[in-house]
Amino acid sequence: MKLRIGYELDYDFPQPTPIILMLHVHFSRVSDLTAPDHMRISPSVPVSAYRDVFGNWCSRLLAPQGHMRITADAVISDTGLPESFNRNAGQVPVEQLPEECLTFLIASRFCDSDRLLDLAWQLFGHTQPGAPRVQAICDFVNRRIAFNYNDASVTRTASDAYREGRGVCRDYAHLAIAFCRAMNIPARYCTCYLGDIGTPKPWPPGDFAASFEAYLEGGWQMFDPRNNVARIGRVLIARGRDAADVAIATTFGPNVLTSFKVWTDEVAEAA
Protein backbone atom coordinates (compact mmCIF):
# COMPACT_ATOMS: atom_id res chain seq x y z
CA MET A 1 0.00 0.00 0.00
CA LYS A 2 1.12 3.56 -0.68
CA LEU A 3 0.18 6.54 1.47
CA ARG A 4 0.15 10.20 0.54
CA ILE A 5 1.34 12.08 3.63
CA GLY A 6 1.87 15.76 4.22
CA TYR A 7 0.93 18.97 5.94
CA GLU A 8 0.25 22.66 5.36
CA LEU A 9 0.91 25.14 8.17
CA ASP A 10 0.16 28.85 7.83
CA TYR A 11 1.61 31.36 10.29
CA ASP A 12 1.47 35.09 10.79
CA PHE A 13 4.55 36.64 12.42
CA PRO A 14 4.49 40.24 13.71
CA GLN A 15 8.31 40.28 13.68
CA PRO A 16 11.20 38.10 12.44
CA THR A 17 11.02 34.92 14.53
CA PRO A 18 13.35 31.91 14.88
CA ILE A 19 11.66 28.49 14.49
CA ILE A 20 12.71 24.88 14.98
CA LEU A 21 10.59 22.38 13.03
CA MET A 22 10.37 18.61 13.52
CA LEU A 23 8.28 17.49 10.57
CA HIS A 24 10.35 15.06 8.49
CA VAL A 25 9.60 11.34 8.39
CA HIS A 26 11.79 9.51 10.92
CA PHE A 27 15.06 8.10 9.57
CA SER A 28 13.81 4.57 10.29
CA ARG A 29 11.12 5.04 7.58
CA VAL A 30 13.04 7.12 5.04
CA SER A 31 13.78 4.06 2.87
CA ASP A 32 10.00 3.60 2.47
CA LEU A 33 9.54 7.04 0.87
CA THR A 34 8.74 6.76 -2.85
CA ALA A 35 8.39 10.54 -3.18
CA PRO A 36 10.51 12.65 -0.78
CA ASP A 37 9.03 14.74 2.02
CA HIS A 38 10.85 17.93 1.00
CA MET A 39 9.77 20.92 3.10
CA ARG A 40 8.60 23.89 1.03
CA ILE A 41 8.52 27.33 2.63
CA SER A 42 6.90 30.46 1.24
CA PRO A 43 8.39 33.01 1.23
CA SER A 44 11.64 31.14 0.71
CA VAL A 45 14.22 31.48 3.49
CA PRO A 46 17.48 29.66 4.30
CA VAL A 47 16.99 26.46 6.32
CA SER A 48 19.64 24.54 8.25
CA ALA A 49 19.21 21.03 9.60
CA TYR A 50 20.58 18.98 12.47
CA ARG A 51 19.96 15.81 14.48
CA ASP A 52 18.80 16.25 18.07
CA VAL A 53 19.95 14.06 20.97
CA PHE A 54 17.28 11.45 20.12
CA GLY A 55 18.25 11.24 16.45
CA ASN A 56 15.27 13.22 15.17
CA TRP A 57 15.79 15.39 12.08
CA CYS A 58 15.21 19.07 12.87
CA SER A 59 14.97 22.12 10.60
CA ARG A 60 15.97 25.59 11.76
CA LEU A 61 15.02 28.89 10.14
CA LEU A 62 14.28 32.56 10.73
CA ALA A 63 10.72 33.40 9.69
CA PRO A 64 10.37 36.92 8.28
CA GLN A 65 7.67 39.31 9.43
CA GLY A 66 4.31 38.59 7.83
CA HIS A 67 2.66 35.45 6.47
CA MET A 68 4.55 32.18 6.03
CA ARG A 69 3.39 28.80 4.70
CA ILE A 70 5.26 25.57 5.50
CA THR A 71 4.17 22.50 3.55
CA ALA A 72 5.22 19.06 2.32
CA ASP A 73 3.56 16.36 0.24
CA ALA A 74 5.15 12.91 0.02
CA VAL A 75 4.35 9.28 -0.78
CA ILE A 76 5.44 6.39 1.43
CA SER A 77 5.08 2.62 1.13
CA ASP A 78 3.41 0.72 3.96
CA THR A 79 2.50 -2.91 4.56
CA GLY A 80 -1.20 -2.07 4.60
CA LEU A 81 -1.59 -4.45 7.53
CA PRO A 82 -2.78 -3.61 11.04
CA GLU A 83 0.20 -3.07 13.33
CA SER A 84 1.01 -5.85 15.77
CA PHE A 85 3.17 -6.50 18.81
CA ASN A 86 4.39 -9.47 20.80
CA ARG A 87 1.70 -9.87 23.43
CA ASN A 88 3.88 -12.35 25.31
CA ALA A 89 7.00 -10.19 25.55
CA GLY A 90 8.36 -10.14 29.08
CA GLN A 91 9.63 -7.22 31.12
CA VAL A 92 13.38 -6.56 31.18
CA PRO A 93 14.81 -6.09 34.70
CA VAL A 94 16.22 -2.61 35.20
CA GLU A 95 19.73 -3.93 35.83
CA GLN A 96 19.65 -5.64 32.41
CA LEU A 97 18.35 -2.69 30.39
CA PRO A 98 20.57 -1.16 27.70
CA GLU A 99 21.98 2.17 28.85
CA GLU A 100 20.15 4.07 26.10
CA CYS A 101 16.84 3.00 27.68
CA LEU A 102 17.53 4.45 31.11
CA THR A 103 16.58 8.04 30.23
CA PHE A 104 13.11 6.73 29.38
CA LEU A 105 12.64 5.45 32.94
CA ILE A 106 12.97 8.91 34.48
CA ALA A 107 10.18 11.42 35.09
CA SER A 108 10.08 14.24 32.53
CA ARG A 109 8.29 17.56 32.01
CA PHE A 110 4.92 16.06 31.06
CA CYS A 111 5.37 12.45 32.19
CA ASP A 112 5.60 13.06 35.94
CA SER A 113 5.84 9.40 36.89
CA ASP A 114 7.19 10.30 40.33
CA ARG A 115 3.78 11.76 41.21
CA LEU A 116 2.01 8.60 40.02
CA LEU A 117 4.30 5.97 41.55
CA ASP A 118 2.06 4.72 44.36
CA LEU A 119 -1.06 4.87 42.20
CA ALA A 120 0.62 2.89 39.42
CA TRP A 121 1.55 0.05 41.76
CA GLN A 122 -1.95 0.03 43.24
CA LEU A 123 -3.53 -0.19 39.79
CA PHE A 124 -1.09 -2.46 37.96
CA GLY A 125 1.06 -4.22 40.53
CA HIS A 126 -1.09 -7.35 40.21
CA THR A 127 -0.80 -7.54 36.40
CA GLN A 128 1.58 -9.84 34.52
CA PRO A 129 4.89 -8.02 33.91
CA GLY A 130 5.77 -7.21 30.32
CA ALA A 131 3.43 -6.68 27.38
CA PRO A 132 0.30 -7.70 29.36
CA ARG A 133 1.10 -5.01 31.93
CA VAL A 134 1.62 -2.34 29.26
CA GLN A 135 -1.67 -3.35 27.62
CA ALA A 136 -3.43 -3.17 31.00
CA ILE A 137 -2.08 0.38 31.34
CA CYS A 138 -3.35 1.27 27.86
CA ASP A 139 -6.77 -0.20 28.63
CA PHE A 140 -7.00 1.86 31.83
CA VAL A 141 -5.86 5.10 30.18
CA ASN A 142 -8.26 4.58 27.29
CA ARG A 143 -11.15 4.34 29.76
CA ARG A 144 -9.91 7.09 32.06
CA ILE A 145 -9.53 9.92 29.55
CA ALA A 146 -12.38 11.32 27.47
CA PHE A 147 -11.13 12.59 24.09
CA ASN A 148 -12.10 16.07 22.95
CA TYR A 149 -10.09 18.44 20.72
CA ASN A 150 -11.47 21.36 22.70
CA ASP A 151 -9.74 20.00 25.82
CA ALA A 152 -6.22 20.32 24.35
CA SER A 153 -3.74 21.98 26.72
CA VAL A 154 -0.04 22.62 26.17
CA THR A 155 0.64 22.56 29.93
CA ARG A 156 -1.30 19.45 31.05
CA THR A 157 0.92 16.79 32.67
CA ALA A 158 0.20 13.09 33.02
CA SER A 159 -0.97 13.53 36.60
CA ASP A 160 -3.23 16.40 35.46
CA ALA A 161 -4.69 14.17 32.76
CA TYR A 162 -5.40 11.46 35.32
CA ARG A 163 -7.07 13.90 37.68
CA GLU A 164 -9.08 15.74 35.01
CA GLY A 165 -10.01 12.67 32.94
CA ARG A 166 -9.95 14.58 29.67
CA GLY A 167 -7.58 15.51 26.89
CA VAL A 168 -6.25 14.66 23.45
CA CYS A 169 -3.91 11.96 22.12
CA ARG A 170 -0.81 13.48 23.73
CA ASP A 171 -2.50 13.23 27.15
CA TYR A 172 -3.27 9.55 26.62
CA ALA A 173 0.36 8.93 25.66
CA HIS A 174 1.75 10.98 28.56
CA LEU A 175 -0.35 9.17 31.16
CA ALA A 176 0.47 5.72 29.78
CA ILE A 177 4.19 6.56 29.59
CA ALA A 178 4.19 7.86 33.17
CA PHE A 179 2.50 4.68 34.43
CA CYS A 180 4.98 2.50 32.50
CA ARG A 181 7.96 4.35 33.93
CA ALA A 182 6.50 4.09 37.42
CA MET A 183 6.36 0.32 36.84
CA ASN A 184 10.04 0.26 35.72
CA ILE A 185 9.20 -0.09 32.01
CA PRO A 186 11.10 2.31 29.71
CA ALA A 187 8.64 4.27 27.57
CA ARG A 188 9.17 6.99 24.98
CA TYR A 189 6.78 9.42 23.32
CA CYS A 190 6.20 9.21 19.56
CA THR A 191 4.62 11.65 17.13
CA CYS A 192 3.36 10.17 13.88
CA TYR A 193 1.20 10.46 10.83
CA LEU A 194 -1.88 8.29 11.38
CA GLY A 195 -4.89 8.35 9.08
CA ASP A 196 -8.19 6.55 9.48
CA ILE A 197 -7.68 3.76 6.96
CA GLY A 198 -9.65 0.68 8.01
CA THR A 199 -11.95 2.56 10.39
CA PRO A 200 -15.63 3.45 9.81
CA LYS A 201 -16.44 6.69 8.02
CA PRO A 202 -17.05 9.62 8.33
CA TRP A 203 -13.43 10.44 9.10
CA PRO A 204 -12.45 13.55 11.07
CA PRO A 205 -10.00 16.13 9.65
CA GLY A 206 -6.41 14.89 9.53
CA ASP A 207 -3.96 15.52 12.34
CA PHE A 208 -0.65 14.30 13.70
CA ALA A 209 -1.02 11.56 16.31
CA ALA A 210 0.73 10.73 19.58
CA SER A 211 1.53 7.20 20.70
CA PHE A 212 4.39 5.60 22.62
CA GLU A 213 6.90 2.78 22.54
CA ALA A 214 7.68 0.54 25.51
CA TYR A 215 10.93 -1.39 25.83
CA LEU A 216 10.25 -5.08 26.45
CA GLU A 217 11.99 -8.38 25.68
CA GLY A 218 12.83 -8.20 22.00
CA GLY A 219 13.06 -4.41 21.87
CA TRP A 220 10.79 -1.41 21.50
CA GLN A 221 7.11 -1.99 20.74
CA MET A 222 4.48 0.58 19.71
CA PHE A 223 1.32 1.15 21.80
CA ASP A 224 -1.56 3.55 21.22
CA PRO A 225 -3.70 4.13 24.33
CA ARG A 226 -5.95 6.66 22.63
CA ASN A 227 -7.22 4.29 19.90
CA ASN A 228 -6.25 1.08 21.74
CA VAL A 229 -6.79 -1.04 18.62
CA ALA A 230 -4.43 -2.12 15.86
CA ARG A 231 -4.24 0.61 13.20
CA ILE A 232 -3.06 0.73 9.60
CA GLY A 233 -0.53 3.18 8.19
CA ARG A 234 1.19 4.72 11.20
CA VAL A 235 4.29 6.65 10.03
CA LEU A 236 6.78 7.69 12.69
CA ILE A 237 8.08 11.27 12.71
CA ALA A 238 9.97 11.69 15.98
CA ARG A 239 10.65 10.15 19.40
CA GLY A 240 11.47 11.73 22.76
CA ARG A 241 10.82 11.75 26.48
CA ASP A 242 7.49 13.54 26.05
CA ALA A 243 5.76 16.05 23.78
CA ALA A 244 8.22 18.80 24.72
CA ASP A 245 11.00 16.90 22.92
CA VAL A 246 9.09 16.37 19.67
CA ALA A 247 7.03 19.53 19.10
CA ILE A 248 6.30 19.91 15.38
CA ALA A 249 7.15 23.62 15.71
CA THR A 250 8.98 25.51 18.43
CA THR A 251 8.78 29.27 17.91
CA PHE A 252 10.84 31.88 19.73
CA GLY A 253 8.53 34.87 19.50
CA PRO A 254 4.86 35.86 19.08
CA ASN A 255 2.91 34.31 16.20
CA VAL A 256 -0.51 33.05 15.15
CA LEU A 257 -1.10 29.66 13.51
CA THR A 258 -3.86 30.65 11.06
CA SER A 259 -4.33 27.31 9.27
CA PHE A 260 -3.34 23.71 10.00
CA LYS A 261 -3.85 20.74 7.67
CA VAL A 262 -2.45 17.20 7.82
CA TRP A 263 -3.20 14.29 5.50
CA THR A 264 -2.50 10.55 5.51
CA ASP A 265 -4.44 9.08 2.59
CA GLU A 266 -4.23 5.83 0.70
CA VAL A 267 -3.01 6.22 -2.87
CA ALA A 268 -4.94 4.23 -5.45
CA GLU A 269 -2.66 1.69 -7.14
CA ALA A 270 -2.32 2.02 -10.93
CA ALA A 271 -4.25 -0.59 -12.87
* pLDDT tens-place string over residues 38-88: 999 999 999 999 999 999 999 999 999 999 999 999 999 999 999 988 999
Q: With bands split at pLDDT 50, 70 and 90, how would you rate the model's confidence at 269?
A: confident
How buried is residue 173: exposed, middle or buried, by Cβ count under 10 Å (0-12/13-18/19+)?
buried
Cis peptide before 132 (omega within 30 of 0): no
**Cα–chain center distance at 107:** 18
> What pLDDT, on a 0 to 100 scale, did the predictor assign at position 233?
94
Task: Report the CATH architecture of 94-245.
Answer: Roll (3.10)
Give which of 89, 30, 39 is closest to 61, Cα–Cα: 39
How buried is residue 110: exposed, middle or buried, by Cβ count under 10 Å (0-12/13-18/19+)?
buried
Does this model's pTM top 0.85? My answer is yes
> What pLDDT, on a 0 to 100 scale, did the predictor assign at position 157?
98
d(CA 162, CA 145): 7
The bridge status of strand 166-167 relative to strand 146-147 is parallel
Contact yes or no for 116/179 (Cβ under 8 A): yes
pLDDT of 15-27, one tens digit each? 999 999 999 999 9
For residue 203, pLDDT beyond 90? no
Tallying the residues shown for the chain, one arrives at: 271
Contact yes or no for 157/206 (Cβ under 8 A): no
Considering the chain, what is the average pLDDT of its residues? 95
Give the start-to-end residue ranges of the domains of the chain.
Answer: 2-80+248-265, 94-245
> What pLDDT, on a 0 to 100 scale, did the predictor assign at position 47?
96
Q: SS3 sequence, the chain?
A: CEEEEEEEEEEEECCCEEEEECCCCCHHHHHHEEECCCCEEECCCCEEEEECCCCCEEEEEEECCEEEEEEEEEEEECCCCCCCCCCCCCCCCHHHCCHHHHHHHCCCCCCCHHHHHHHHHHHHCCCCCCHHHHHHHHHHHHHHCEECHHHCCCCCCHHHHHHHCEECHHHHHHHHHHHHHHCCCCEEEEEEECCCCCCCCCCCCCCEEEEEEEEECCEEEEECCCCCCCCCCCEEEEEECCHHHCCCEEECCCCEEEEEEEEEEEECCCC
Percent of the chain with pLDDT strictly greater than 70: 99
Q: Does domain 2-80+248-265 have CATH number 2.60.40.2250?
A: yes
> What pLDDT, on a 0 to 100 scale, did the predictor assign at position 270?
61
> What pLDDT, on a 0 to 100 scale, did the predictor assign at position 81?
93
pLDDT of 99-124, one tens digit each? 999 999 999 999 999 999 999 999 99
> What pLDDT, on a 0 to 100 scale, did the predictor assign at position 260?
95
Q: Which residues contact 259 (CB under 8 A, 6 or more apart)?
A: 8, 9, 10
pLDDT of 234-256, one tens digit each? 999 999 999 999 999 999 999 99
